[in-house]
Chains A and B, each alone.
Chain A
């Protein structure tokens, strides 16, 4: 193929799929022609800089257009237009336009006249969902990227939320399929009670007809109250050993001295308004609207990894089947309060998923939901009696997590700024021997923020569980902060004091709180785990020709680590969706560590895939590349790999 034939095809290839034989011919030519390869790099650069430009918040033109048309807020009709019948006899201004949702709203809903905002901004999830329901995409065409949704104004919108879920009670029914070949379907029902800010009770009774008495029903209870958490349910045991491994006695676990809003537990809030599933989200697929019970619901489809906080919250105790992180979750939320009303988990048709199921002995029917949860009789903001949150069964030995309410000593810095409406919730000290950790939490009823500080931090890594790859943020006069990949934690390493600010707020709000503590954050010592945190620029210098995904949606910009000439980029998406891209010089893959390794075609090259580690590896132009994830399917990893371009 000659250059003058290859280049138009290269251009066409950027706008859609080329026929396979054209693609092969072009690829072959590219391998031999540096000029055309440079042309392709140029095309990729145009694409990157033009299609994915930063979206600016600009004024809404609608008011100006309407004003110029001579149409004021009285909503006069177009001259000559026929009067339209109101099907429900309601005045037109109280309903959305027919055909709502429109395909995509303009990026910001801020300037809308308030009377039209029937879907009030109740939380970050509300903002997000308001856009989702409208079929919006936060990214790509004139939409906003996830990080841009969390602009400075968002905390304000969150805080000025007009309706709050102060309490919720509902009946839950659960259908689970495929738990065991002898028990193809299990049906459970029970209750969910929530009272803000962090009380939760889930009780489920198993109505399944089991083949024999040896099988223990999956009756579960989870009760969380401030300072305490207990749960009861059958202990999980290996599927092959069922039912003989089941103990007739339920496993009861109890924890006291629990600090407010522990980060590792599923939060009561995630069950009621699935904030964490959506706070960083890219555009999930809208499913439209329908009624669930008596309530108007909006649907979104997400992956199980994204819905993880909600799914885990429902299955905190008891014996359940596994859920594949790549499976599809169809989630229906109350249109106004955004509490979940129904969800179903449906197997994806990914080949890797089939393997996953085969290894576990699951025989899931294609496209058939294997977990269905319905919330019925949902009652919002009614009285929830104290008795709804019972104490653990008598005689249960409680483990002590070490938190004691009280006034923490002087070591806890006071924030100079908190979002409006935040009131003190609890403060105290976690005593785990040695230097204590001072804790103070605030809540506005539903959203929460917590500051933890310690004087005796021994180092080696940042205080406060910021995850594998926090990134560094310059705060100006207040020094340097570190933000976890998902943006839920902000850490400060100050003189003699290590602090983390964590909460259900947006990243900018958490950073602002951290910056208001009156501390100066210092860079961590280079030998700490976070010492390698670096910028993408530095990564490009460390490894010329660094590959970056060119078409990635729903993930925040990566956190970067550089160790010598090896660059590791971690990309975080909503829920627990994440992947790690590692690159370093080399001309061959290291010997495989696992027995189960398969050859795959990656970017026209021979690569290998290791299912146990969820890792895809190949060698390309003197660089060993690996894309690894436990929550993305192999198809998604291949798509990430295919989209990599030298950045």
Chain B
């Protein structure tokens, strides 16, 4: 019997990080027609994804909470303009991303310093999450939004491209650049930690 190749059967095991799912088009249509139950179902279906995206994009849980609300307010008001031209899930991320960018701009107006954040000096944290959050915060918003959509939410390059309004290839290279910077910062942080010990 021929040896079995692992890659052939990769799909046999359900793995995490599957793509964000599409809603039933009927639910979207019902919501567009004013069915509040359907709209609420959509909120329930996507709020966790949106909140997660915004938390990483904004690096601020409380702000992310507000912008999540704002996102769904915008979704409701703009449902008419959705029109099934793209996937509903990527359309929601597009709305969330725009709401997030608006929030970032508002914060930057308040605090000009935010543009010039230095690369992070990571706090020693065994879980590494604090370090990663700090490193994420130091990426430019363009790299960060692409990276979060791909890495955290598991979108495809194409879907993320729709959400941020950039071609697939651009998303791919932004994600790569984000990863390069994050990995090098995290390695530096670890070295510093080792040196400190």
Contacts and interface: CB of A to CB of B under 8 A. Distances in A.
Interface string B127-165: 111001000000000000000001111101100000000
Nearest to A67: B69
Contacts of A285: 14
B150 A135 contact: no
A55 B48 contact: yes
A491 to B, nearest CB: 30
B44 A600 contact: no
A84 B28 contact: no
Contact of B34 (A58, A81, A116, A603): A81
A635 B12 contact: yes
B67 to A, nearest CB: 10
Contacts of A552: 13, 15-16
A51 B28 contact: no
Given A8-B176, A552-B15, A552-B16, A62 B47 contact: yes
Contacts of B30: 84, 97-99
A352 to B, nearest CB: 8
B151 A46 contact: yes
Contact of A103 (B22, B34, B152, B175): B22
Contact of B12 (A39, A65, A636): A636
A98 B48 contact: no
B16 A102 contact: no
Contacts of A169: none
Contact of B45 (A50, A93, A103): A103
A350 B40 CA distance: 41
A428 interface: no
B133 to A, nearest CB: 10
B179 A60 contact: no
B166 interface: no
Contact of B35 (A17, A46, A84, A638): A84
B15 A102 contact: no
A551 to B, nearest CB: 4
Contacts of A66: 36, 40
Interface residues of A, number: 88
Contacts, number: 247
Interface in A449-493: none
Contacts of B24: 99-103
A522 interface: no
B104 interface: no
A633 B13 CA distance: 10
Nearest to B132: A49
Interface string A73-88: 0011110011010000
A16 B156 contact: yes
A38 B49 contact: no
B1 interface: yes
B38 interface: yes
A639 B12 contact: yes
Nearest 5 pairs between A and B by C-beta?
A: A81-B34, A142-B48, A99-B27, A99-B26, A635-B9
Interface of A: 7-8, 11-12, 14-17, 38-39, 42-43, 45-47, 49-53, 55, 58, 60-62, 64-66, 68-69, 71, 75-78, 81-82, 84, 92-93, 96-107, 116, 134-135, 137, 139-143, 282-283, 285, 350-351, 355, 551-554, 598-603, 609, 633-636, 638-643
